[in-house]
């Protein structure tokens, strides 16, 4: 049985050269051994394994937009529907979170207040107290965010798990699949680099990258979500 990282995009070349790409950051926070997780680059046309051969999957973020319905994204959504029906544990991050929601009947679109960026506080909702992945986390914790689109409506049957004043759907679960709008894999260096790179776009949207940079701080509880997911898979395999 394979554990896979579904690569839906890539970071900026200069940042990748310096810090690695999304899958490297995810593997770091999973505490993964070399080769433990197989990376499948769906954006570049790599084929996903049969759902029956998959023990679990993490979906990366992406600069792409779910609402563009690119061919690779639509085909990945079909695989996700099959995986959810087969109770394969999934964790979607940012774009992955939005793609999961859209694939299962939710709605995704541009946030009316523009982008959310930097490090923000995430609040757990009461339902998270019994959640297999989020239970035991602090009631509020900091997390890195950078997104223009959001899940505007959850899929039928989804459980809303986390929010903040900007974003109503920061985390949800449906079956054995979770989506998180925030980035558990981003460390402070990655978030700072994103704010620097996107400063003109953020400025155009009325956000000051300099002010957002002042809010940067460590996000250990958000990062720990990936190790929690790894332990969940290990427990299931035992």
Can you read off the two tokens belonging to residue 56?
Answer: 């679990």
Identify the CATH assignment for 2-237 out of 3.40.462.40, 3.40.50.880, 1.10.1240.10, 1.10.150.530.
3.40.50.880
Query: Among residues of the chain, what percentage have pLDDT more than 70?
Result: 100
Is 99's pLDDT higher than 90? Answer: yes
Contact call for residues 16 and 10 (beta carbons, < 8 A): yes
Q: Is 54 a catalytic residue?
A: no
Q: What is the mean pLDDT of residues 117-126?
A: 97
pLDDT at 235: 83
Would residue 183 show up in a list of annotated catalytic residues for this protein? yes
Q: Is the alpha carbon torsion for 220, 31, 95, 162 positive or negative?
A: negative
DSSP, residue by residue, 55-94: EEEEE---SS-GGG--HHHHHHHHHHHHHHHTT--EEEET
From the candidates 54, 94, 147, 167, which is the catalytic residue?
A: 94
In sequence order, what are the residues at sequence separation of 6 or more whose Cβ sits closer than 8 angstroms to the Cβ of residue 122? 140, 141, 142, 143, 162, 163, 164, 170, 171, 182, 222
Least-confidence region, from 30-34, 68-72, 189-193: 30-34
Q: Cβ distance 233 to 55 under 8 Å?
A: yes
- What is the structure's pLDDT at 226? 97
Token look-up 């080769």 returns: 35
Tens-place pLDDT, residues 135-188: 999 999 999 999 999 999 999 999 999 999 999 999 999 999 999 999 999 999
Q: What is the pLDDT of residue 17?
A: 94
Whether residue 237 is predicted with pLDDT greater than 80 in this model: the reply is no
pTM: 0.96
């Amino acid at each position: 049985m394979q554990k896979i990282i579904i690569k839906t995009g890539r970071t900026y070349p200069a940042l990748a050269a310096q810090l690695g790409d999304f899958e490297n950051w995810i593997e770091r926070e999973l505490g993964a051994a070399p080769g433990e997780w197989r990376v499948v680059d769906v954006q570049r046309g790599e084929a996903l394994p049969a759902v029956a051969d998959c023990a679990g999957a993490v979906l990366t973020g992406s600069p792409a937009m779910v609402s563009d319905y690119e061919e690779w994204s639509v085909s990945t959504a079909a695989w996700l529907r099959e995986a959810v029906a087969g109770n394969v544990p999934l964790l979607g991050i940012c774009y992955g979170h939005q793609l999961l929601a859209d694939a299962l009947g939710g709605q995704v679109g541009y946030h009316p207040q523009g982008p959310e960026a930097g490090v923000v506080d995430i609040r757990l909702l009461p339902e998270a107290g019994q959640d297999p992945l989020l239970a035991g986390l602090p009631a509020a914790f900091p997390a890195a965010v950078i997104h223009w689109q959001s899940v505007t409506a959850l899929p039928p049957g989804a459980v809303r798990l986390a929010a903040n004043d900007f974003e109503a759907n920061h985390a949800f679960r449906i079956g054995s699949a979770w989506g998180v709008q925030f980035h558990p894999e981003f460390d402070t260096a990655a978030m700072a680099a994103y704010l620097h790179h996107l400063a003109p776009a953020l400025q155009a949207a009325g956000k000051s990258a300099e002010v957002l940079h002042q809010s940067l701080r460590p996000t250990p509880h958000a990062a720990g979500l990936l190790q929690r997911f790894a332990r969940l898979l290990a427990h299931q395999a035992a």
